[in-house]
Structure 1
Amino acid sequence: MPAEVDAGLATLSDQLILATVLLYVFAMIGYALSLAFGRPQAQAESKPESVLAAVGGGTAAASSVPDAASGEGGNRTEKEPSAWMAWAGPIAVGLTWLGWATHLASILTRGLSVGRWPWGNMYEFVVAMCFTAVSAFLFMHLRYRVRFLGAFVTVAAALGLGFAVRYLHVQAGPVVPALDTYWVAIHVSAAIIASGLFTVAGVSGILYMVRKDTAVRLPSRQDLERVAHRAIVIGFPIWTFAVIAGALWADKAWGRYWGWDPKEIWAFITWIAYAAYLHARATAGWKGKAAMIVQIIAFGCLLFNLVGVNVFLGGLHSYAEVP
C-alpha cells in the first residue's frame, strides 16, 4: 500500500462496509416481516377512511367500509398482527438509519485515508451510489411514508455493496492524474446522486411489474408508480447536469467536448431513455405499465453505463480500476 495512504483508516473503511451490509440485511428482514405479518397495505390505507366514517356516522357507517383484505364488507379474512410484529417496521427503519450512518462513515474514512474524493474508481462509485439510493429512500420515507419500499431498497443496496466488495474492490490509493481534479467533485458527484435516485425508481418499477393483483400486503401499483416518477423527476436534471459537466471536463482534459467514447455514448443514451419516459408521461399521457417499461429500460441503460461499459468496452474511461 502506498506510503501516503493511511492504512488504518483504509482498513476501517472496509470493515464499516461489511457492517453496513449486515445492517442492511437485518433491516431487509425487518421490512419483510412487517410486509408478511403486519397489517396489509390496502387495509392500512383504508383505516383512516374507517375512522372518519365512524366519527361522522357512528358504528354503522364504519362497518359499511369494505374490508380491503377480503374485498367484502364486514368479513375479515386477515388476522390482526401480533403486538411484537408491530415493531418490525420501526426497528427496520432504525437499522436502515444505523446502516446509513456506517455507510457514510465508510465513505468518509476511505476519502480521508487517501486525501481525496472517495469515488475515483468503480468500487468507490458503486459504494457511493448505493449510499445515495438508501439516502433517497430515507428522505422519501420521511416525507411520503414509503416504508413499504424499504425491503427492496435495502436488499438492492446490500447486493450492490456485496458485488462491489467481491468483484470491484481495490486497495485504497492515489488516482491517475486525470482524476486528480475538482471536476470529480462536480461531475462524478452529480452522477452518483442521480444514479441513486434512478435506482430507487428502478426498484419501484421492477416491483410494479412483478406485483400481482392479489398481493394485498405489497404497496399498490399507484404508490409504486408515484415513487418512481418523483425519483426520476428529481434525478433527471441532476443527470443532465452530470452529462454537461462531463463534457466540460472532457474539453479541459482532452481538448474536446465529445469524442464518441463508449462512456459518453451510453451516458447520452441513458439521458435519452429517461427523457423519453418524462416526455411520454407529459405529452402522451403514458402511465401504468407502459411508462414503467420505459423507465426500466432506462434503468438498464444506466446500469450498463455504470458497470458494463467499464467491464466490457473500456475506452478513455477505462482508468476506473476494475479488477
Structure 2
Amino acid sequence: MAKPDVVLLTAIASHIITWKQTTIGTIADVFNLSAEDAIEAVKILFLTEVDDRAARYFVDFELDAATTEDDTDLVYSLEDTISYVPMLDDDPRVYLTYGEAAVSIEIIDQLLKLVDPASEAGLSLRSVREKIRRGTGDIVGAAPPEPRGSQDVLDAVWEAMRESRRLTFTYHRADGVTEAISTRTVIPCAVVSEQEGYLAALQNDRDLRWFRLDRMSRASTGAPVSQTEANRARRTLRRHPHLHPTTGTDVTFTVKPGAAWFAEAIPGAVTVNGGDTLSITVRAVSATWVRECAIKIGTDLVDIAPVEMKRDVIAQATAIAQVQR
C-alpha cells in the first residue's frame, strides 16, 4: 500500500471484530487485496498508534505471526491468525479518526447527489452523516450537498417543451458507490412536479422514460420536433395513466390559446376551451410552484384561481420585486 487507506483499515478492523477470528489470507480474499497489500494493511493496523480519535478506543487484537530467530521482528504469512477476544473494558464500535470521518462524509455526500433527498435512502444517509459530524464535535462535515437539479436544467426542460424541441442533457445515475454518466437526447413530454423532480420523455423517439431532475446537468435545447413526433410523444404519455402521484391543491390557470402547451406539459391537467381563453386545472404543490408556472406561461396568463392562491402568488412576486429594486 502506497499510503494508509483509512476506510480500508476501518473495514478490516470491523471485519475482525465481527468474526472474532480470521486470517491474513481471508482478509486478502474478502477485500480483494494482493498478499503484499493484505500483510501491509495488517502491519499498519497493528503497529500504528492513533491519538486523534473522537473518543477512547479499547480494542486489542492478537496475531500469531512467527518471529525472527533473534525475536526482533515478525514474519508475516497469509496463514497467520488474527483474533479478537472482547474484554470488559473494550469498546468494539471502532471510533473513526477525524480523517476517517472526513472520508466517510465525502462518500456519503457523493451518494446524496444520486438519491432523492426525501426518499428513505436519502434520509438514512443524512442521518448517518449527521451522527458522524456530531461524533467529531462538528469539526468535520459542513452542510450536505444540494441536489444537482438546477434552475438552468429546469429552464432548458421547459424551453424544449414550450418550443417543441429535443432536449440533450448529461444524466448521472447510481452505479454501486460511484455514478455512471451518460449523455441523453430525448423528446420531453412532461414535468410531473419540479418539487418531486421527474421528467417524462421519449428516448429513441419511442420509449417512454422517467428521468430524475436532480440527476440531470448541462441541459440544452436542440433540433425542432416535427408535429408528427410531438403528437406521438403525447399519445405515448397518455397510454401510461399510472404516473408519479402529485399531492397538493387544484389550481386553475386561465390563459390565452397560445399557452395550450402548458396543459400538454402537465400530466392530469384538465382543459376547458372558453373560446378566447383556456381554463387549465392542475394539481399544484405550493404557491411557489404556481408562481413559477405563471412565469413560464408569461404574458399568455389571464388569471389564477382560487383567489387565495392568486393572493399568495402576488404577495411572493411583490416581495421579490421589492428585494430587486
Shorter-chain TM-score above 0.5:
no
With normalisation by structure 1, the TM-score equals: 0.19
With normalisation by structure 2, the TM-score equals: 0.19
Q: Which structure dedicates a bigger proportion of its chain to helix?
A: 1
Question: Relative contact order, CA 8 A, sep 6+: which one is greater?
Answer: 1
Q: Which structure dedicates a bigger proportion of its chain to strand?
A: 2
